[in-house]
Chain A
Amino acid sequence: MGNVWAVCKRDIRGYFASPIAYVIIGLFLMVAGIFFYLLLSSFMQYAYASMMNRQGAPLNINLMMIRPFLLNLSVIILFIIPVITMRSFAEEKKAGTMEFLLTVPLTNRQIILGKFLASYFLYVVMILATFLFMLFLFLWGDPELAPVLIGYLGLLLLGAALVAMGNFISSLTENQVVAAVGTFAATMSLWIIGAAGDLGGKVLQGILKYLSIIDHFEDFSGGVFDTNHLSFYLSMTFVLLFLTYQSVESSRWRGR
Protein backbone atom coordinates (compact mmCIF):
# COMPACT_ATOMS: atom_id res chain seq x y z
CA MET A 1 0.00 0.00 0.00
CA GLY A 2 2.91 2.29 0.77
CA ASN A 3 4.13 1.77 -2.78
CA VAL A 4 0.75 2.67 -4.27
CA TRP A 5 0.77 5.84 -2.19
CA ALA A 6 4.34 6.67 -3.30
CA VAL A 7 3.44 6.35 -7.00
CA CYS A 8 0.21 8.27 -6.47
CA LYS A 9 1.94 11.10 -4.59
CA ARG A 10 4.57 11.39 -7.32
CA ASP A 11 1.93 11.79 -9.99
CA ILE A 12 -0.08 14.30 -7.98
CA ARG A 13 3.10 16.29 -7.51
CA GLY A 14 3.59 16.06 -11.28
CA TYR A 15 0.17 17.59 -11.87
CA PHE A 16 0.69 20.45 -9.47
CA ALA A 17 4.35 21.11 -10.32
CA SER A 18 3.32 22.03 -13.84
CA PRO A 19 0.50 24.43 -14.76
CA ILE A 20 -1.63 21.45 -15.87
CA ALA A 21 -3.64 21.01 -12.69
CA TYR A 22 -4.34 24.73 -12.34
CA VAL A 23 -5.31 25.15 -15.98
CA ILE A 24 -7.61 22.12 -15.86
CA ILE A 25 -9.32 23.11 -12.62
CA GLY A 26 -9.55 26.76 -13.63
CA LEU A 27 -10.99 26.02 -17.03
CA PHE A 28 -13.46 23.53 -15.64
CA LEU A 29 -14.69 25.89 -12.94
CA MET A 30 -15.03 28.70 -15.44
CA VAL A 31 -17.19 26.68 -17.83
CA ALA A 32 -19.16 25.18 -14.95
CA GLY A 33 -19.62 28.67 -13.52
CA ILE A 34 -21.02 29.99 -16.78
CA PHE A 35 -23.55 27.15 -16.94
CA PHE A 36 -24.41 27.65 -13.30
CA TYR A 37 -25.00 31.36 -13.86
CA LEU A 38 -27.17 30.77 -16.94
CA LEU A 39 -29.27 28.11 -15.23
CA LEU A 40 -29.62 30.20 -12.12
CA SER A 41 -30.76 33.29 -13.97
CA SER A 42 -33.33 31.42 -16.01
CA PHE A 43 -34.56 29.74 -12.83
CA MET A 44 -34.84 33.17 -11.22
CA GLN A 45 -36.89 34.38 -14.15
CA TYR A 46 -39.28 31.45 -13.86
CA ALA A 47 -39.50 31.95 -10.13
CA TYR A 48 -40.19 35.65 -10.57
CA ALA A 49 -42.84 35.02 -13.19
CA SER A 50 -44.54 32.34 -11.15
CA MET A 51 -44.50 34.64 -8.14
CA MET A 52 -46.14 37.39 -10.20
CA ASN A 53 -48.83 35.05 -11.49
CA ARG A 54 -49.42 33.56 -8.03
CA GLN A 55 -50.32 30.24 -9.52
CA GLY A 56 -49.31 26.60 -9.15
CA ALA A 57 -47.00 25.01 -6.61
CA PRO A 58 -43.65 26.63 -5.72
CA LEU A 59 -40.88 25.77 -8.16
CA ASN A 60 -38.57 22.90 -7.25
CA ILE A 61 -34.97 24.11 -7.35
CA ASN A 62 -33.63 20.55 -7.22
CA LEU A 63 -35.42 19.59 -10.37
CA MET A 64 -35.22 22.84 -12.30
CA MET A 65 -31.80 24.07 -11.38
CA ILE A 66 -29.55 21.48 -9.74
CA ARG A 67 -30.41 18.53 -11.96
CA PRO A 68 -29.68 20.31 -15.24
CA PHE A 69 -26.52 21.71 -13.72
CA LEU A 70 -25.27 18.24 -12.76
CA LEU A 71 -26.15 16.95 -16.22
CA ASN A 72 -24.13 19.81 -17.69
CA LEU A 73 -21.19 18.93 -15.47
CA SER A 74 -21.35 15.31 -16.64
CA VAL A 75 -20.92 16.51 -20.22
CA ILE A 76 -18.16 19.01 -19.43
CA ILE A 77 -16.07 16.30 -17.78
CA LEU A 78 -16.16 14.31 -21.01
CA PHE A 79 -13.98 17.07 -22.42
CA ILE A 80 -11.82 17.62 -19.35
CA ILE A 81 -10.93 14.05 -18.34
CA PRO A 82 -8.89 13.29 -21.47
CA VAL A 83 -6.66 16.22 -20.51
CA ILE A 84 -6.29 14.95 -16.96
CA THR A 85 -5.33 11.42 -17.93
CA MET A 86 -3.36 11.99 -21.12
CA ARG A 87 0.02 12.12 -19.42
CA SER A 88 -0.37 9.32 -16.89
CA PHE A 89 1.38 6.57 -18.87
CA ALA A 90 2.21 8.28 -22.17
CA GLU A 91 4.54 10.78 -20.50
CA GLU A 92 6.33 8.06 -18.51
CA LYS A 93 6.93 6.07 -21.66
CA LYS A 94 8.22 9.07 -23.53
CA ALA A 95 10.54 10.20 -20.73
CA GLY A 96 11.85 6.66 -20.17
CA THR A 97 10.68 6.65 -16.56
CA MET A 98 8.40 3.71 -17.31
CA GLU A 99 11.57 1.65 -17.53
CA PHE A 100 12.39 2.89 -14.04
CA LEU A 101 8.98 1.99 -12.62
CA LEU A 102 9.14 -1.47 -14.18
CA THR A 103 12.63 -2.26 -12.88
CA VAL A 104 12.17 -1.22 -9.26
CA PRO A 105 10.44 -3.60 -6.87
CA LEU A 106 6.93 -2.38 -7.71
CA THR A 107 4.21 -4.65 -9.02
CA ASN A 108 2.22 -3.63 -12.09
CA ARG A 109 -0.83 -3.51 -9.89
CA GLN A 110 0.76 -0.96 -7.59
CA ILE A 111 1.86 1.22 -10.51
CA ILE A 112 -1.56 1.15 -12.16
CA LEU A 113 -3.51 1.74 -8.97
CA GLY A 114 -1.20 4.56 -7.89
CA LYS A 115 -1.55 6.30 -11.23
CA PHE A 116 -5.30 5.83 -11.31
CA LEU A 117 -5.67 7.31 -7.84
CA ALA A 118 -3.53 10.31 -8.75
CA SER A 119 -5.65 11.18 -11.82
CA TYR A 120 -8.78 10.49 -9.82
CA PHE A 121 -7.59 12.74 -7.04
CA LEU A 122 -7.34 15.67 -9.43
CA TYR A 123 -10.81 14.88 -10.74
CA VAL A 124 -12.29 14.72 -7.23
CA VAL A 125 -10.71 18.05 -6.29
CA MET A 126 -12.20 19.55 -9.43
CA ILE A 127 -15.69 18.16 -8.77
CA LEU A 128 -15.71 19.07 -5.10
CA ALA A 129 -14.78 22.63 -6.02
CA THR A 130 -18.13 22.98 -7.79
CA PHE A 131 -19.78 22.22 -4.47
CA LEU A 132 -18.95 25.82 -3.70
CA PHE A 133 -21.63 26.85 -6.20
CA MET A 134 -24.12 24.64 -4.39
CA LEU A 135 -23.24 26.35 -1.16
CA PHE A 136 -24.80 29.57 -2.53
CA LEU A 137 -28.03 27.76 -3.28
CA PHE A 138 -28.12 26.40 0.25
CA LEU A 139 -27.31 29.81 1.76
CA TRP A 140 -30.05 31.71 -0.07
CA GLY A 141 -32.42 28.94 -1.09
CA ASP A 142 -33.88 25.81 0.33
CA PRO A 143 -32.86 22.83 -1.84
CA GLU A 144 -33.04 19.27 -0.58
CA LEU A 145 -29.62 17.96 0.44
CA ALA A 146 -29.99 14.21 -0.23
CA PRO A 147 -30.56 14.44 -4.02
CA VAL A 148 -27.60 16.81 -4.31
CA LEU A 149 -25.34 14.35 -2.50
CA ILE A 150 -26.59 11.46 -4.63
CA GLY A 151 -25.96 13.56 -7.73
CA TYR A 152 -22.37 14.17 -6.62
CA LEU A 153 -21.91 10.50 -5.82
CA GLY A 154 -22.98 9.84 -9.39
CA LEU A 155 -20.42 12.31 -10.70
CA LEU A 156 -17.68 10.63 -8.66
CA LEU A 157 -18.64 7.18 -9.99
CA LEU A 158 -18.92 8.38 -13.58
CA GLY A 159 -15.54 10.09 -13.17
CA ALA A 160 -13.91 6.90 -11.87
CA ALA A 161 -14.95 5.03 -15.01
CA LEU A 162 -13.84 7.84 -17.32
CA VAL A 163 -10.49 8.30 -15.54
CA ALA A 164 -9.86 4.56 -15.80
CA MET A 165 -10.67 4.79 -19.51
CA GLY A 166 -8.24 7.70 -19.93
CA ASN A 167 -5.51 5.83 -18.07
CA PHE A 168 -6.03 2.81 -20.25
CA ILE A 169 -5.79 4.76 -23.49
CA SER A 170 -2.76 6.66 -22.21
CA SER A 171 -1.07 3.31 -21.58
CA LEU A 172 -1.43 2.42 -25.26
CA THR A 173 0.70 5.26 -26.61
CA GLU A 174 3.68 7.40 -25.76
CA ASN A 175 2.15 10.48 -27.32
CA GLN A 176 0.08 12.62 -24.98
CA VAL A 177 -1.94 14.20 -27.77
CA VAL A 178 -2.88 10.81 -29.15
CA ALA A 179 -3.86 9.75 -25.64
CA ALA A 180 -6.08 12.82 -25.16
CA VAL A 181 -7.75 12.61 -28.55
CA GLY A 182 -8.21 8.85 -28.22
CA THR A 183 -9.81 9.19 -24.79
CA PHE A 184 -12.03 11.98 -26.06
CA ALA A 185 -13.17 9.85 -29.01
CA ALA A 186 -13.88 6.92 -26.70
CA THR A 187 -15.87 8.91 -24.15
CA MET A 188 -17.80 10.67 -26.90
CA SER A 189 -18.74 7.37 -28.51
CA LEU A 190 -19.93 6.02 -25.18
CA TRP A 191 -21.99 9.15 -24.78
CA ILE A 192 -23.74 9.21 -28.16
CA ILE A 193 -24.07 5.45 -28.36
CA GLY A 194 -27.37 5.74 -26.45
CA ALA A 195 -28.84 8.05 -29.04
CA ALA A 196 -27.62 5.79 -31.85
CA GLY A 197 -29.49 2.94 -30.20
CA ASP A 198 -32.82 4.56 -31.08
CA LEU A 199 -32.24 3.62 -34.71
CA GLY A 200 -31.87 -0.12 -34.14
CA GLY A 201 -34.20 -2.83 -32.91
CA LYS A 202 -35.24 -3.39 -29.33
CA VAL A 203 -32.38 -5.67 -28.34
CA LEU A 204 -29.69 -3.51 -29.90
CA GLN A 205 -31.26 -0.46 -28.36
CA GLY A 206 -31.14 -2.11 -24.95
CA ILE A 207 -27.49 -3.01 -25.28
CA LEU A 208 -26.40 0.38 -26.57
CA LYS A 209 -28.41 2.23 -23.96
CA TYR A 210 -26.82 0.10 -21.27
CA LEU A 211 -23.35 0.95 -22.54
CA SER A 212 -24.11 4.66 -22.79
CA ILE A 213 -22.06 6.06 -19.97
CA ILE A 214 -24.12 9.22 -19.46
CA ASP A 215 -27.50 7.48 -19.47
CA HIS A 216 -26.57 5.82 -16.20
CA PHE A 217 -25.95 9.20 -14.70
CA GLU A 218 -29.43 10.54 -15.38
CA ASP A 219 -31.00 8.81 -12.41
CA PHE A 220 -28.20 10.00 -10.14
CA SER A 221 -28.69 13.58 -11.33
CA GLY A 222 -32.34 13.38 -10.34
CA GLY A 223 -31.38 12.19 -6.88
CA VAL A 224 -32.29 8.54 -7.51
CA PHE A 225 -29.82 5.98 -6.23
CA ASP A 226 -29.97 2.71 -8.14
CA THR A 227 -27.52 -0.12 -7.46
CA ASN A 228 -27.74 -1.07 -11.13
CA HIS A 229 -25.97 2.11 -12.09
CA LEU A 230 -23.55 1.78 -9.19
CA SER A 231 -22.51 -1.67 -10.36
CA PHE A 232 -22.28 -0.46 -13.96
CA TYR A 233 -19.77 2.25 -13.07
CA LEU A 234 -17.80 0.08 -10.66
CA SER A 235 -17.52 -2.82 -13.09
CA MET A 236 -16.61 -0.46 -15.92
CA THR A 237 -13.83 1.03 -13.78
CA PHE A 238 -12.62 -2.42 -12.83
CA VAL A 239 -12.63 -3.71 -16.41
CA LEU A 240 -10.70 -0.67 -17.64
CA LEU A 241 -8.11 -1.01 -14.87
CA PHE A 242 -7.76 -4.65 -15.85
CA LEU A 243 -7.26 -3.67 -19.49
CA THR A 244 -4.61 -1.17 -18.39
CA TYR A 245 -2.86 -4.00 -16.57
CA GLN A 246 -2.91 -6.08 -19.74
CA SER A 247 -1.62 -3.18 -21.77
CA VAL A 248 1.31 -2.55 -19.41
CA GLU A 249 2.10 -6.27 -19.34
CA SER A 250 2.04 -6.53 -23.13
CA SER A 251 4.20 -3.45 -23.60
CA ARG A 252 6.80 -5.22 -21.46
CA TRP A 253 6.77 -8.17 -23.81
CA ARG A 254 7.15 -5.89 -26.76
CA GLY A 255 9.80 -3.88 -24.97
CA ARG A 256 8.20 -0.49 -25.34
Chain B
Amino acid sequence: MIEVRNLTKYFGDLKAVDDISFSVQRGEVLGFLGPNAAGKTTTMRILTGFMPASEGTASVAGYDVFENGIEVKRRVGYLPENPPLYRDMTVTEYLRFAAQVKGVAHRALAAETERVIERVSIGDVRHKFIDKLSKGYKQRVGLAQALLNNPPVLVFDEPTVGLDPKQIIEVRELIRSLGEDHTVILSTHILPEVSMTCSRVVIINAGRLVAVDTPANLTARLKGSETIVVEVAGAPEEIRGKIMKMEDVLSLSLHTDAGVMHCRIESKVNTDIRGRLAALIVNGGWELRELRREALSLEDVFLKLTTREEELD
Protein backbone atom coordinates (compact mmCIF):
# COMPACT_ATOMS: atom_id res chain seq x y z
CA MET B 1 0.00 0.00 0.00
CA ILE B 2 2.84 2.34 0.88
CA GLU B 3 6.29 2.11 -0.64
CA VAL B 4 9.14 4.29 0.52
CA ARG B 5 12.45 4.02 -1.35
CA ASN B 6 15.68 5.75 -0.33
CA LEU B 7 13.84 8.78 0.95
CA THR B 8 16.07 11.73 1.84
CA LYS B 9 15.11 15.24 2.86
CA TYR B 10 17.39 18.19 3.41
CA PHE B 11 16.47 21.43 5.14
CA GLY B 12 19.34 23.60 4.02
CA ASP B 13 22.39 21.67 5.15
CA LEU B 14 20.50 19.64 7.71
CA LYS B 15 19.68 16.10 6.67
CA ALA B 16 16.34 15.53 8.40
CA VAL B 17 15.63 12.18 6.74
CA ASP B 18 18.50 10.05 5.55
CA ASP B 19 17.95 7.30 2.99
CA ILE B 20 14.91 5.63 4.53
CA SER B 21 13.17 2.68 2.85
CA PHE B 22 10.26 0.64 4.08
CA SER B 23 6.90 -0.60 2.90
CA VAL B 24 3.52 -1.03 4.53
CA GLN B 25 1.03 -3.71 3.51
CA ARG B 26 -2.69 -3.21 3.25
CA GLY B 27 -4.38 -3.50 6.63
CA GLU B 28 -1.20 -3.08 8.63
CA VAL B 29 -0.75 -0.69 11.56
CA LEU B 30 2.80 0.59 11.39
CA GLY B 31 4.35 2.34 14.35
CA PHE B 32 6.85 5.05 13.67
CA LEU B 33 9.10 5.31 16.61
CA GLY B 34 11.90 7.70 17.36
CA PRO B 35 13.06 10.39 19.73
CA ASN B 36 11.96 13.96 19.12
CA ALA B 37 13.40 15.48 15.95
CA ALA B 38 14.27 12.06 14.55
CA GLY B 39 12.53 12.76 11.25
CA LYS B 40 9.15 11.16 11.93
CA THR B 41 7.07 14.21 11.08
CA THR B 42 9.15 14.99 8.01
CA THR B 43 8.67 11.47 6.66
CA MET B 44 4.94 11.70 7.27
CA ARG B 45 4.73 15.09 5.63
CA ILE B 46 6.40 13.68 2.54
CA LEU B 47 4.02 10.72 2.49
CA THR B 48 0.99 12.99 2.73
CA GLY B 49 2.21 15.23 -0.07
CA PHE B 50 2.70 18.25 2.17
CA MET B 51 6.33 18.57 1.15
CA PRO B 52 8.42 17.00 -1.58
CA ALA B 53 11.44 14.81 -0.82
CA SER B 54 14.95 15.89 -1.77
CA GLU B 55 15.84 12.41 -3.03
CA GLY B 56 14.16 9.06 -3.30
CA THR B 57 10.56 8.14 -3.97
CA ALA B 58 7.43 7.39 -2.03
CA SER B 59 4.17 6.02 -3.33
CA VAL B 60 0.76 5.40 -1.83
CA ALA B 61 -1.62 2.92 -3.47
CA GLY B 62 0.61 2.92 -6.53
CA TYR B 63 0.60 6.71 -6.98
CA ASP B 64 3.85 8.62 -6.60
CA VAL B 65 3.44 11.33 -3.96
CA PHE B 66 5.37 13.84 -6.01
CA GLU B 67 4.14 13.07 -9.52
CA ASN B 68 0.55 12.43 -8.61
CA GLY B 69 0.00 14.33 -5.39
CA ILE B 70 -3.72 14.88 -5.80
CA GLU B 71 -4.44 11.17 -6.27
CA VAL B 72 -2.39 10.39 -3.17
CA LYS B 73 -4.16 13.06 -1.15
CA ARG B 74 -7.51 11.57 -2.12
CA ARG B 75 -6.43 8.29 -0.52
CA VAL B 76 -4.73 9.53 2.63
CA GLY B 77 -6.35 10.87 5.77
CA TYR B 78 -3.80 12.85 7.75
CA LEU B 79 -3.81 14.09 11.31
CA PRO B 80 -0.79 16.36 11.85
CA GLU B 81 0.78 16.77 15.24
CA ASN B 82 -1.29 19.87 15.92
CA PRO B 83 -4.80 19.14 14.73
CA PRO B 84 -5.44 21.59 11.88
CA LEU B 85 -8.66 23.17 13.08
CA TYR B 86 -10.41 26.40 12.21
CA ARG B 87 -11.21 27.78 15.60
CA ASP B 88 -13.88 30.12 14.32
CA MET B 89 -16.09 27.28 13.05
CA THR B 90 -18.34 24.83 14.82
CA VAL B 91 -17.44 21.14 14.68
CA THR B 92 -20.12 20.39 12.10
CA GLU B 93 -19.25 23.39 9.93
CA TYR B 94 -15.60 22.45 9.96
CA LEU B 95 -16.20 18.82 9.10
CA ARG B 96 -18.57 19.78 6.30
CA PHE B 97 -15.93 22.08 4.86
CA ALA B 98 -13.27 19.39 5.19
CA ALA B 99 -15.57 16.83 3.56
CA GLN B 100 -16.26 19.23 0.72
CA VAL B 101 -12.61 19.84 -0.12
CA LYS B 102 -11.91 16.13 0.19
CA GLY B 103 -14.34 15.56 -2.63
CA VAL B 104 -17.40 14.19 -0.84
CA ALA B 105 -20.41 14.70 -3.10
CA HIS B 106 -22.73 17.49 -2.08
CA ARG B 107 -25.66 15.14 -1.43
CA ALA B 108 -23.54 12.93 0.84
CA LEU B 109 -22.04 15.75 2.92
CA ALA B 110 -24.45 15.55 5.85
CA ALA B 111 -24.34 11.75 6.08
CA GLU B 112 -20.54 11.57 5.83
CA THR B 113 -20.08 14.27 8.47
CA GLU B 114 -22.49 12.41 10.74
CA ARG B 115 -20.62 9.13 10.18
CA VAL B 116 -17.27 10.45 11.38
CA ILE B 117 -18.87 12.33 14.27
CA GLU B 118 -20.32 9.01 15.45
CA ARG B 119 -17.08 7.15 14.82
CA VAL B 120 -15.03 9.32 17.18
CA SER B 121 -17.99 10.06 19.50
CA ILE B 122 -18.08 13.83 19.42
CA GLY B 123 -21.84 14.09 18.91
CA ASP B 124 -22.30 16.05 22.13
CA VAL B 125 -20.13 18.95 20.93
CA ARG B 126 -21.13 19.02 17.28
CA HIS B 127 -22.61 22.53 17.49
CA LYS B 128 -19.88 24.00 19.65
CA PHE B 129 -17.19 26.31 18.33
CA ILE B 130 -13.88 24.47 18.03
CA ASP B 131 -12.23 27.28 19.96
CA LYS B 132 -14.25 26.31 23.03
CA LEU B 133 -13.36 22.60 22.98
CA SER B 134 -10.98 20.85 25.34
CA LYS B 135 -7.70 19.46 24.05
CA GLY B 136 -9.10 15.94 23.94
CA TYR B 137 -12.11 16.94 21.88
CA LYS B 138 -9.94 18.97 19.53
CA GLN B 139 -7.78 15.92 18.96
CA ARG B 140 -10.85 13.85 18.20
CA VAL B 141 -12.20 16.44 15.77
CA GLY B 142 -8.81 16.20 14.07
CA LEU B 143 -9.19 12.43 13.90
CA ALA B 144 -12.72 12.80 12.52
CA GLN B 145 -11.37 15.06 9.80
CA ALA B 146 -8.81 12.43 8.80
CA LEU B 147 -11.56 9.80 8.46
CA LEU B 148 -13.69 11.85 6.06
CA ASN B 149 -14.32 10.27 2.68
CA ASN B 150 -13.07 7.00 4.15
CA PRO B 151 -9.48 7.00 2.83
CA PRO B 152 -7.73 3.61 2.68
CA VAL B 153 -4.59 5.04 4.29
CA LEU B 154 -4.46 6.93 7.58
CA VAL B 155 -1.44 8.83 8.84
CA PHE B 156 -1.46 10.01 12.44
CA ASP B 157 1.35 12.13 13.85
CA GLU B 158 1.51 11.63 17.62
CA PRO B 159 -2.24 11.18 18.01
CA THR B 160 -2.24 10.84 21.79
CA VAL B 161 -0.01 13.74 22.78
CA GLY B 162 -1.53 15.98 25.40
CA LEU B 163 -4.49 13.75 26.20
CA ASP B 164 -5.43 12.50 29.63
CA PRO B 165 -5.00 8.76 30.38
CA LYS B 166 -8.65 7.93 29.74
CA GLN B 167 -8.65 9.73 26.41
CA ILE B 168 -5.39 8.06 25.44
CA ILE B 169 -6.98 4.66 25.95
CA GLU B 170 -10.01 5.69 23.88
CA VAL B 171 -7.89 6.99 21.04
CA ARG B 172 -5.74 3.83 21.02
CA GLU B 173 -8.89 1.71 20.94
CA LEU B 174 -10.11 3.76 18.02
CA ILE B 175 -6.84 3.38 16.14
CA ARG B 176 -6.82 -0.35 16.72
CA SER B 177 -10.34 -0.67 15.36
CA LEU B 178 -9.44 1.52 12.39
CA GLY B 179 -6.55 -0.82 11.68
CA GLU B 180 -9.06 -3.53 10.81
CA ASP B 181 -10.04 -1.96 7.52
CA HIS B 182 -7.40 0.74 6.95
CA THR B 183 -3.66 0.91 6.51
CA VAL B 184 -2.41 3.05 9.36
CA ILE B 185 0.90 4.78 10.01
CA LEU B 186 1.24 6.17 13.46
CA SER B 187 4.13 8.08 14.93
CA THR B 188 4.87 8.33 18.57
CA HIS B 189 7.61 8.52 21.11
CA ILE B 190 5.50 6.76 23.69
CA LEU B 191 6.66 3.17 23.56
CA PRO B 192 3.84 1.21 25.16
CA GLU B 193 1.59 2.77 22.56
CA VAL B 194 3.46 0.94 19.85
CA SER B 195 3.29 -2.48 21.46
CA MET B 196 -0.40 -1.90 22.11
CA THR B 197 -1.52 -0.71 18.71
CA CYS B 198 0.99 -1.64 16.05
CA SER B 199 1.67 -4.80 14.15
CA ARG B 200 5.06 -3.56 12.96
CA VAL B 201 7.51 -0.95 14.12
CA VAL B 202 9.90 1.32 12.28
CA ILE B 203 12.49 2.87 14.54
CA ILE B 204 14.29 5.91 13.26
CA ASN B 205 16.90 8.03 14.90
CA ALA B 206 18.63 11.16 13.64
CA GLY B 207 16.92 10.71 10.29
CA ARG B 208 18.16 7.18 9.77
CA LEU B 209 16.27 3.92 9.85
CA VAL B 210 17.46 1.79 12.74
CA ALA B 211 15.11 -1.18 12.68
CA VAL B 212 11.91 -2.49 11.09
CA ASP B 213 10.21 -5.47 12.71
CA THR B 214 7.33 -6.63 14.86
CA PRO B 215 7.48 -5.46 18.49
CA ALA B 216 7.97 -9.07 19.68
CA ASN B 217 10.81 -9.81 17.26
CA LEU B 218 12.56 -6.60 18.12
CA THR B 219 12.51 -7.48 21.78
CA ALA B 220 13.76 -11.00 21.19
CA ARG B 221 16.46 -9.92 18.80
CA LEU B 222 18.06 -7.50 21.15
CA LYS B 223 17.94 -9.59 24.24
CA GLY B 224 21.58 -10.37 25.11
CA SER B 225 20.88 -11.81 28.56
CA GLU B 226 18.18 -12.48 31.14
CA THR B 227 18.00 -10.11 34.05
CA ILE B 228 16.99 -11.26 37.53
CA VAL B 229 16.29 -8.82 40.31
CA VAL B 230 16.67 -10.05 43.91
CA GLU B 231 16.21 -8.41 47.28
CA VAL B 232 17.67 -10.19 50.30
CA ALA B 233 17.67 -9.06 53.94
CA GLY B 234 20.32 -10.02 56.48
CA ALA B 235 22.78 -11.53 54.02
CA PRO B 236 26.53 -11.09 54.47
CA GLU B 237 28.92 -9.85 51.78
CA GLU B 238 30.03 -13.36 50.89
CA ILE B 239 26.74 -13.98 49.11
CA ARG B 240 28.21 -12.18 46.13
CA GLY B 241 30.81 -14.87 45.61
CA LYS B 242 28.24 -17.62 46.07
CA ILE B 243 25.96 -16.24 43.42
CA MET B 244 28.80 -15.61 40.99
CA LYS B 245 29.84 -19.25 41.33
CA MET B 246 26.36 -20.41 40.20
CA GLU B 247 26.04 -21.91 36.76
CA ASP B 248 24.88 -19.59 33.92
CA VAL B 249 25.45 -16.38 35.87
CA LEU B 250 27.27 -13.78 33.81
CA SER B 251 27.51 -10.75 36.03
CA LEU B 252 26.15 -9.20 39.14
CA SER B 253 25.68 -5.75 40.50
CA LEU B 254 24.71 -5.13 44.07
CA HIS B 255 24.18 -2.44 46.64
CA THR B 256 23.10 -2.58 50.27
CA ASP B 257 20.58 -0.22 51.71
CA ALA B 258 19.71 -0.38 55.46
CA GLY B 259 20.60 -4.07 55.73
CA VAL B 260 18.70 -4.99 52.56
CA MET B 261 20.75 -6.14 49.62
CA HIS B 262 19.54 -5.27 46.10
CA CYS B 263 21.05 -7.43 43.36
CA ARG B 264 20.72 -7.37 39.58
CA ILE B 265 21.94 -10.59 38.09
CA GLU B 266 22.58 -11.14 34.40
CA SER B 267 22.36 -14.73 33.29
CA LYS B 268 22.67 -16.51 29.95
CA VAL B 269 19.77 -16.23 27.50
CA ASN B 270 17.07 -18.89 27.80
CA THR B 271 18.15 -20.07 31.22
CA ASP B 272 16.20 -19.71 34.41
CA ILE B 273 18.27 -19.56 37.57
CA ARG B 274 15.43 -18.39 39.79
CA GLY B 275 14.76 -21.75 41.47
CA ARG B 276 18.41 -22.40 42.28
CA LEU B 277 18.87 -18.84 43.42
CA ALA B 278 15.90 -19.03 45.81
CA ALA B 279 17.20 -22.29 47.24
CA LEU B 280 20.64 -20.78 47.76
CA ILE B 281 19.25 -17.86 49.70
CA VAL B 282 16.74 -19.79 51.79
CA ASN B 283 19.25 -22.53 52.61
CA GLY B 284 21.67 -19.83 53.71
CA GLY B 285 19.09 -18.76 56.28
CA TRP B 286 18.57 -15.33 54.84
CA GLU B 287 15.31 -13.57 54.18
CA LEU B 288 14.20 -13.49 50.52
CA ARG B 289 12.23 -10.30 49.97
CA GLU B 290 11.83 -10.25 46.20
CA LEU B 291 12.80 -12.34 43.20
CA ARG B 292 11.69 -11.57 39.65
CA ARG B 293 12.77 -11.74 36.06
CA GLU B 294 12.92 -8.45 34.27
CA ALA B 295 11.46 -8.52 30.77
CA LEU B 296 13.25 -6.47 28.19
CA SER B 297 10.70 -3.79 27.41
CA LEU B 298 10.31 -2.02 24.13
CA GLU B 299 11.72 0.92 25.99
CA ASP B 300 15.01 -0.91 26.46
CA VAL B 301 14.99 -1.98 22.84
CA PHE B 302 14.47 1.55 21.81
CA LEU B 303 17.19 2.87 24.04
CA LYS B 304 19.59 0.20 22.90
CA LEU B 305 18.95 0.91 19.26
CA THR B 306 19.01 4.66 19.46
CA THR B 307 22.00 4.94 21.76
CA ARG B 308 23.93 2.49 19.68
CA GLU B 309 23.31 4.73 16.72
CA GLU B 310 24.63 7.71 18.59
CA GLU B 311 27.76 5.87 19.65
CA LEU B 312 28.45 5.06 16.02
CA ASP B 313 28.28 8.74 15.18
Contacts and interface: CB of A to CB of B under 8 A. Distances in A.
Interface of A: 2-3, 6-7, 9-10, 13-14, 17-18, 95-107, 252-255
A255 B11 contact: yes
Contacts of A106: 73, 101
Given A6-B97, A253-B51, A100 B11 contact: no
A102 B145 contact: no
Nearest to B70: A105
Contacts, number: 73
Interface in B8-64: 11, 42, 45, 48-52
* Secondary structure of the A contact surface, majority rule: helix
A7 B102 CA distance: 12
B103 interface: yes
Nearest to A111: B101
B145 A100 contact: yes
B98 interface: yes
Given A105-B102, A253-B51, A255-B11, A95 B42 contact: no
A95 B45 CA distance: 17
Interface of B: 11, 42, 45, 48-52, 70, 73-74, 76, 78, 80, 82-89, 93, 97-98, 100-103, 145
Given A10-B97, A13-B88, A13-B89, 9 more contacts: A6-B100, A6-B101, A17-B88, A102-B49, A103-B76, A103-B78, A104-B98, A106-B73, A252-B51
B161 to A, nearest CB: 14
A7 B101 contact: yes
6 contacts: A95-B86, A97-B84, A100-B80, A104-B73, A105-B74, A252-B52
Contacts of A7: 101
Contacts of B103: 105
A3 B101 contact: yes
